[in-house]
Amino acid sequence: MAKELQKLQIIPLGGLGEIGKNMTVIRYGNEIILIDAGLMFPDEDMPGIDLVIPDISYLVENKDIIKAIVLTHGHEDHIGALPYILRQISAPIYGTRLTLGILEGRLKENNVDASNLHPVNPGDIINAGCFSVGFIHVNHSIPDATGLSIRTPLGMIVHTGDFKFDYTPIDGKMTDFRAFSELGNRGVLVMMADSTNAEREGHTPSEKTVGIAFDKTFRNARDRIIIATFSSNVHRIQQVMDNAVKYHRHVAILGRSMINVVTISLKLGYLNAPEGLIIDIDEINNFPSEQIVIITTGSQGEPMSALTRMAMSDHRKVGIVPGDTIVLSATPIPGNEKLVARTIDNLLKLGANVIYGRDQGIHVSGHASREELKLMHNLVRPKFFIPVHGEYRHLVKHAQLAEEIGMDPDHIFIAENGNILEFTRDKGAIVGKVQSGKVLIDGLGVGDVGNIVLRDRRQLSQDGIIIVVMTMDKEKSCIVSGPDIVSRGFVYVRESEELMNNSKERVAASIKKCLENKVTEWSALKANVRETLGRYLYEQTRRRPMILPIIMEV
């Protein structure tokens, strides 16, 4: 294929129409680089599922031409699929030090080889096939986050990563305006930009405002302070530590992921804690309560997390007592509202002072609001724009924003996972689709739970199951034993003895009739049981349990 005929393709495999499992393929000719490889947490219509990762069939088919995997930052929705997909594909992995530090831990936990990780610094440019990828520092709710400039034979692609513009960042490092601006000056073919907060007017507040709210909390609290936040929000943790120093408190760290991230961040220098500040959780009772602050996981009300256990009076090491001040430094992720509310209620019942809610200044988002998005668009001024990292309505709002500031609507692509977006130097279009979707992880199983299993689980959860067992002599065409009926999740059998006895009689009569009419095919008999019993139970209870006829042969 002559080079000038080759096209540049962008193929999102995850992250469009959803917040989670971000993953994007950049392809030119027979060379691919992959941006991010994240996971998503399951919806409530996926009972029993632990995690969701993107379907990577397309990558597996093209595994020999993957030149690099580049990571924008260390959040689970950007790196969390790697422990699973690195069993099927491989390539050098590039990311900043904290990103790779967190990833390394995940890979080792899952017994996956972590030798192909290549740390970069913001400002670095790496080469992978025909691509050169530059890493651009951005502000986000985790340090060491980056946007990407991807130089391709047909032009420059800019991917913002997850970002905001924080004019007073905790580590003093602002989103690298100049880099984005210079790229804009030189000409950008396509921009992909974070749409998470495209619904939100104005400007996301600086992370520093949270420190001010913490200061007030520390000033007022007389006894222990317990602060729950996301473990990856290292700047938030730094601000807790800074206040602890100021107000002469020691810091104990609680929760497995919190301990992991704090350990890595201290080691790599992303967290600064003076000697003696951090104490072991077992030491907290050696100090008066006014000298203690505990940083913990559980800000989302996760059932097994440290804070939730404390709220349930079920934590081995920390019991909540009246006088404790507890700060929920996070906003509930959609779907977690009720879990968080329950945790707050439980903490209040134990007599704690709980600081929570949007108007307390104790949390800010890590994503750009509309005015920041406008700034990014004006810095980069791309020819084509693909809103990414958002549910469908966020992508729509972001597209509308781009139009409002003057972009040609024909140059904006609201795409779906799996779409092939193809670009030349001056044209772009969605030209096709590759396989994409969700791979469900349940225990050790990756992808073995599909729609039928999920449908069964949902049905089982609604009205339970009725099992009808009988033993038949097929030659003599008669029931040898049974029918017996066993139910689970339907009704208390003791309270419904009559219903169960009537059910048995009806099934027996119905089978007998079948046999008299020479209907002896087991599939027909089973269908008959399901129909007879299903109708009877619905009449009696208005419920539709799963009915499972089992016929044994002797």
Q: List the beta bridge partners of residue 103.
A: none
Q: Which of 159, 235, 315, 367 is catalytic?
A: 367
Binding segment toward a copy of itself, per CB under 8 A, in 85-93, 137-145, 454-462, 520-528: 454-462
Q: List the beta bridge partners of residue 9.
A: 27, 422
Return the SS3 of 212: helix
DSSP state of 361: S
Residue 539 CA: distances (Å) to CA of 531, 532, 533, 536, 544 = 12, 11, 10, 5, 10
Q: The tokens of 294 are what?
A: 């505990």
Q: Which of 299, 385, 490, 507 binds a copy of itself (CB under 8 A)?
A: 490
Q: Does 530 bind a copy of itself (CB under 8 A)?
A: no
Nearer to a copy of itself, 209 or 496 (CB): 496
Q: Most distant CA pair in the chain: distance in Å? A: 88
234 appears as a binding residue in the annotation: no
Q: The tokens of 251 are what?
A: 């810091």
Q: What is the dihedral of CA 354, 360, 366, 368, to 10 degrees?
A: 150
363 appears as a binding residue in the annotation: yes
Q: Which of 471, 504, 526, 534 binds a copy of itself (CB under 8 A)?
A: 471
Q: Does 502 bind a copy of itself (CB under 8 A)?
A: no
Residue 266 CA: distances (Å) to CA of 76, 122, 235 = 20, 19, 12
Please give the backbone phi and psi of residue 248, each rounded to the nearest 5 degrees, phi first: 60, 50
| Distance of closest approach, residue 156 Cβ to a copy of itself, in angstroms | 30
Residues 6+ away with beta carbon under 8 Å from 189: 8, 152, 154, 155, 156, 157, 382, 383, 384, 423, 425
At 542, the amino acid letter reads R
231 appears as a binding residue in the annotation: yes
User: Residue 367 catalytic?
Assistant: yes
Q: Does 508 bind a copy of itself (CB under 8 A)?
A: no
Residues 184 and 207: their CA atoms lie apart, in Å, by 27
Q: Which of 4, 64, 492, 517 binds a copy of itself (CB under 8 A)?
A: 492
Site for a copy of itself in 27-46 (CB under 8 A): 43-44
Q: Which of 70, 82, 278, 344 binds a copy of itself (CB under 8 A)?
A: 344
Q: Does 349 bind a copy of itself (CB under 8 A)?
A: yes
Binding segment toward a copy of itself, per CB under 8 A, in 174-182, 203-211, 222-230, 442-450: 442-450
Q: Which of 144, 194, 242, 324 is catalytic?
A: 194
Q: Does 319 bind a copy of itself (CB under 8 A)?
A: no
User: Residue 410 catalytic?
Assistant: no
Mark residues 189-228: x for contact with a copy of itself by CB under 8 A, - for none: ----------x-x---------------------------
Q: Which of 87, 267, 458, 535 binds a copy of itself (CB under 8 A)?
A: 458
Q: Does 456 bind a copy of itself (CB under 8 A)?
A: yes
Spell out where 99-201 has E strands. Answer: 117-120, 125-128, 131-138, 145-152, 155-159, 188-194
Nearer to a copy of itself, 187 or 357 (CB): 357
Q: Is the CB of residue 52 less than 8 Å from the CB of residue 20?
A: yes
| Distance of closest approach, residue 401 Cβ to a copy of itself, in angstroms | 15
Q: Does 522 bind a copy of itself (CB under 8 A)?
A: no
Residues 6+ away with beta carbon under 8 Å from 314: none
- The residue with tokens 């934590």 is 315
Q: Is the CB of residue 170 less than 8 Å from the CB of residue 235?
A: yes
- The residue with tokens 């595994």 is 63
Q: Of 255, 234, 242, whose CA–CA distance to 318 is shortest?
A: 255
| Distance of closest approach, residue 171 Cβ to a copy of itself, in angstroms | 32
CB atoms within 10 A of CB 333: 15
Catalytic residue ranges: 194, 367
Known binding-site residue numbers: 48, 50, 73, 75, 77-78, 140, 162, 231-233, 363-367, 389, 442
- Footprint of a copy of itself on this chain (CB under 8 A)? 17, 43-44, 47-48, 199, 201, 334-335, 337-338, 341, 344-345, 348-349, 354, 357, 359, 391-393, 396, 442-445, 448-450, 452-454, 456-465, 467, 469-471, 480-482, 484, 486, 488-492, 495-496, 540-543, 546, 548, 550, 552-554
